[in-house]
Structure 1
């Protein structure tokens, strides 16, 4: 996740990584951080954070994901900086400590919780004063747009009108959020919002053949995503929403 010259799948997380890395660098100021990745799975972000020299604890309910995390950390040469623990966000403090972390990552988790607000509160309670929270969730507008462009107009309308942003029985994502809903969750937990970014604004909509056929197209698409990510006008159509917030 260091450059835009990567597989197209990594393009979807590149903007988040750039924002997160900058926040960690500012928080660390040359020191070593304690980072918690709640629901971090196989360590896509955790290993990159460890490569910066920080200690990372990954909490995830899947033994298979934690096994993959261990293997990924070993291959990256950071096995001594990454620790995987089986658990979930709702029971976070059965396996993690209160107020012990300089940064908490909670990516792709809230949309699967029955009580997202409780999930955010747990993440906040894990932070030290001045610590940062990186929160990534499924965006409502992006899902509506994607279903409509695929010709599934009834499902698009269902997502638009459903309180949880759910488009039907086969929808794999239980809940989606608008930018306002996400910001309210964060401020309601006592955090100060530092930045909001739209993620996967174009990447999920542009046909792969257009990206693969032209030299430099992937780089150009990355730059377009990067330029649009911080603009509020595009947040409402993003596939995912990212909030960076700070505990006072």
Structure 2
């Protein structure tokens, strides 16, 4: 089961497959079926609700009250209200919301790009993690942005991304920051994490014209299979829209 509908699952399938399998492994290692999961910036529950449907307890911390309201509604519709807790806050207020050494896994998806200090934010996240706990990091890929701008015909902007310290293509770029694999790995290791797996996300999904996927029979399934097959291959990481790291707290 993917967190979203078939067409949009092209954007989330790889991460969901890795995260759900990792949670199952961790539950087996601990000898208990229910894990405590923190989803920071989890918004409307795109991952939190499916994780709760696996039987785990999920705390979602997000600064948007509207997103948290949508999360609670989605949790109710899925019948997992008792497993999902919504808290308004951000990485700077985590210490007041989450007890140290209290969670088995942390989902940090689309957060490091927008915080003021990624290293500090990641340190706040790992403070609540139990020894051996999991961290799922998903962030925008600098190199993928170079390719995307070039394909769109914005060659000067593509060149700018290469040299910009934050991997941005200009003042109108809506993304505050992008990372390379090496930068994400350094952040994780600086927070005391051991990187176990690296995946490219949306390697092909953002490059293939939507009309092909929407009109060709079986195209969604075939493209999903291709994304999953290529995700762990380092040769494809450079062209992915996003990078996903699965790490563990030593």
Distance (whole Å) between structure 2 residues aligned to residue 98 and residue 237 of structure 1:
37
Aligned to 1:205: 207
SS of residue matched to 1:196: strand
1:126-165 residue pairs with structure 2 within 5 A? 126-165=128-167
Q: How does 1:49-60 map to 2 (within 5 A)?
A: 49-60=51-62
* Deviation digits for residues 74-105 of structure 1 (CA, Å, limit 9, x no counterpart): 00000110000000012211211111000010
The secondary structure found in structure 2 opposite 1:141 is helix
More divergent stretch after superposition (118-127 vs 64-73): 118-127
Paired with 1:64 and 1:240, the residues of 2 have a C-alpha distance of 26
Q: Which residue of 1 aligns with 2:178?
A: 176
Aligned length: 247
With over 3 angstroms needed to count, the CA separation of the structure-2 counterparts of 1:203 and 1:69, relative to structure 1, is same
**Paired residue for 2:25?**
26
> What runs of 5+ residues in structure 1 fail to find an aligned partner?
none
Q: What do the CA deviations read for 1:1-20 (whole angstroms, capped 9, x no partner)?
A: x1599432221111000000
Distance between the aligned counterparts of 2:4 and 2:165, measured in 1? 38
**Among 94, 105, 108, which residue is 2:107 paired with?**
105
TM-score (norm 1): 0.97
Q: How does 1:205-224 map to 2 (within 5 A)?
A: 205-224=207-226
Q: 3-state DSSP class of the match of 1:170?
A: coil
| CA contact 2:99–2:128 (8 Å) conserved in 1 | yes
CA distance in 2, matches of 1:33, 1:11: 27
Q: Name the CA distance, whole Å, in 1 between partners of 2:121 and 2:238.
A: 23
Q: Which residue of 2 aligns with 1:93?
A: 95
1:246 Cα shift? 0.5
Kept in 2, the 8 Å contact 1:70–1:84? The answer is yes
3-state SS, counterpart of residue 20 of structure 1: helix
CA distance in 2 between partners of 1:175 and 1:4 (Å): 26
CA distance in 2, matches of 1:41, 1:5: 14
Contact 2:43 2:68 in 1 (8 A): yes
CA contact (8 A) 1:140 1:159 kept: yes
1:80 matched to which residue of 2? 82
Report the secondary structure of 2:248's partner residue: strand
Deviation per residue, 1:143-186 (Å, 9 max, x gap): 11111101111111111110100111221110000001101111
* Structure 2: stretches of 5+ with no match in the other structure: none
Q: Is the contact made by 1:5 and 1:219 (CA closer than 8 Å) also made in structure 2?
A: no
Deviation larger for 67-76 or 90-99:
90-99
Tell me the TM-score normalised to structure 2 length.
0.96
Tell me the distance in 1 between the aligned counterparts of 2:90 and 2:169: 26
